[in-house]
Amino acid sequence: VTRVGVIGGGAIGSVVAEALRDGKVDGATLGGVVAGRAEGRAAFDALLETCDVVIEAASQAAVAEYGPSVKDAGLDFVVVSAGALVDDELLRTLSAPSAGRLLISTGACGGIDLLRAAQLMHPLDSVRLQTTKPSAALVRDWMEPELRQKLVDGDEELSVFVGSAREAVQRFPETANISALIALATIGFDGVEVEVRAAPHARAATHEISASGQAGTYRFVIENALSAQNMRTSAVTAYAVLRGLTDRSAVLAPGW
């Protein structure tokens, strides 16, 4: 039985821990939880002692904070805050060969398995993510006052950003995880193009992923329901994490 340690006690971590505690995942059991930073390093060290795999379901900072120690301890490290891996140095450190593997949960994103296979067959020619969100959720300090005003009280759908996934991760942190998953599975943070669109009456986020290359032409549209506990997180994410524990094809690992 695989003993699973969970870092994070929020919308994702609490659902994952409860399912494991209740024995819902064949072959896996809950080894321990670090629900928040306040629990301190000792709680984390206890996880390393008692677990075979550690899941980060906390924050981008937590990936850098705990990941290297998990790998050094020879345990598999499952990353949910995939956006943290835009840091090339951190990605290199965590994916360096060792007894423990870096496994990236496919989280709230679909189609990653097929895009990865297409990329392995022959590098994709183009990969694009178009994310549409409620206008009010996209207002940012760096925007011109005129654009900000349009987002606050405008009535038309508009494009607020087109650029690389690397830039999108910085400008719109809420696109970070999905941008990172697509980038890591395909042509990287500098190759993937991201467009962020504002829709005045949208109630949640819609992601449209398109890609083309020798393997084929792909288009996926994703509209996830939000977690009741955290309105920035898709409720399905926790179940993607749980599925990944029993199905290795449900996670993304660097390389093949």
Q: How far is the CB of 92 from ligand NAD (least distance, A)?
A: 20
Stretch near ligand NAD under the rule CB under 6 A, chosen from 5-13, 47-55, 161-169, 196-204: 5-13
The Cα–Cα gap between 80 and 223 comes to 19
Pairing mode, strands 76-79 and 53-56: parallel
Pairing mode, strands 2-7 and 53-56: parallel
Rule CB under 6 A: choose which of 2, 3, 29, 35 binds ligand NAD: 35
Q: How far is the CB of 32 from ligand NAD (least distance, A)?
A: 12
Q: How far is the CB of 218 from ligand NAD (least distance, A)?
A: 19
Position 177 contacts ligand NAD (CB under 6 A): yes
Catalytic residue among 207, 241, 251, 252: 207
Q: How far is the CB of 153 from ligand NAD (least distance, A)?
A: 29
Residues 49-68 that bind ligand NAD (CB under 6 A): 57-62, 65
Position 36 contacts ligand NAD (CB under 6 A): yes
How far, in Å, are 136, 185, 190, 240 from residue 251 at the CA level?
Answer: 33, 10, 22, 9
Write out the DSSP string of 57-75: -S-HHHHHHHHHHHHHTT-
Residues touching ligand NAD, count (CB under 6 A): 31
> Using an 8 Å Cβ cutoff, are 237 and 108 in contact?
yes
Number of other CB atoms surrounding residue 179 within 10 Å: 29
Rule CB under 6 A: choose which of 64, 108, 196, 209 binds ligand NAD: 108
Nearest CB to ligand NAD, comparing residues 198 and 205: 205
Residue that has been written with the tokens 């039985």 in this structure: 1
In degrees rounded to 5, what are phi and psi of residue 132?
-115, 125
Residue number, nearest CB to ligand NAD: 10
> Using an 8 Å Cβ cutoff, are 256 and 120 in contact?
yes
Is residue 207 flagged as an active site residue?
yes
* Interface ranges with ligand NAD (CB under 6 A): 7-13, 34-37, 57-62, 65, 80-82, 105, 107-109, 177, 229-230, 233-234, 237
Query: Where in the sequence numbering do the catalytic residues fall?
Result: 207
